[in-house]
Structures are given as C-alpha cells and as structure tokens.
Amino acid sequence: SKHCVNLDSTTANVTVKPFELDMGFQFELHVTVSGKKINISEIPELSLPEDWMRDKLELHFYKTEQAEGGGEIENVTYNKGSGTAVITFLKPG
C-alpha cells in the first residue's frame, strides 16, 4: 500500500487507502415506447444537475444495434419539474 512516486525532480511517498463513492442511485422508471421515441415518467427528483441526469438517461438507453432495444441517440429532453423525459433515437426500432 506504500509507493514512491517521482514527480519531476521530487520524490513523494504515498499511501493507498480505500474509500467509498456515494454516487449510486437506484430508482424505477415508467417507460412508453414508440418507433423512434421513449417517453419516461415518474423520474424521482435527485440532487443531480439537469445535464448530469440527461447524460445518465442517455447512457442508460444507448445500446449497440446488436443488443435488444436502444441505439444511437439523437436527443434527450429532460424536465426536472415534471419528472419526465423523452429519448429520441436516430433510427426507429
């Protein structure tokens, strides 16, 4: 757990210690699917910035075409006030 790190002309002795990240959230989404869009409702209000939530929704629903469902995403519209989002895919499927 102890390491010696060379930084330019200086040597630093460091110790590695475990830590926990409190970033995990688990929640249930209600989804309505059409050919090209997914309407999501009942997204719980979390203490995340809106752009982070859009990114998380995009990552969750993006899948390769070989996987069941998903695909390349064209747009994510998220409304924090109503707890809803619309995911628009590039291709219907």
Looking up tokens 């997204």 gives 43
Sheet holding 37-41, edge to edge: 30-33, 37-41, 84-89, 73-79
CA–CA separation, 30 vs 38, rounded Å?
10
**H helix runs in 13-78, sequence order:** 50-61
pLDDT at 44: 87
The residue among 65, 55, 87 whose CA lies nearest residue 74 is 87
pLDDT at 38: 84
Taking the chain (93 residues) in runs of 10, the rounded mean pLDDT of each run is 82 81 68 78 87 88 63 90 90 75
Strands 73-79, 84-89: pairing is antiparallel
pLDDT at 22: 67
Q: Any idea where the domains of the chain sit in the sequence?
A: 37-89
CA–CA separation, 14 vs 1, rounded Å?
8
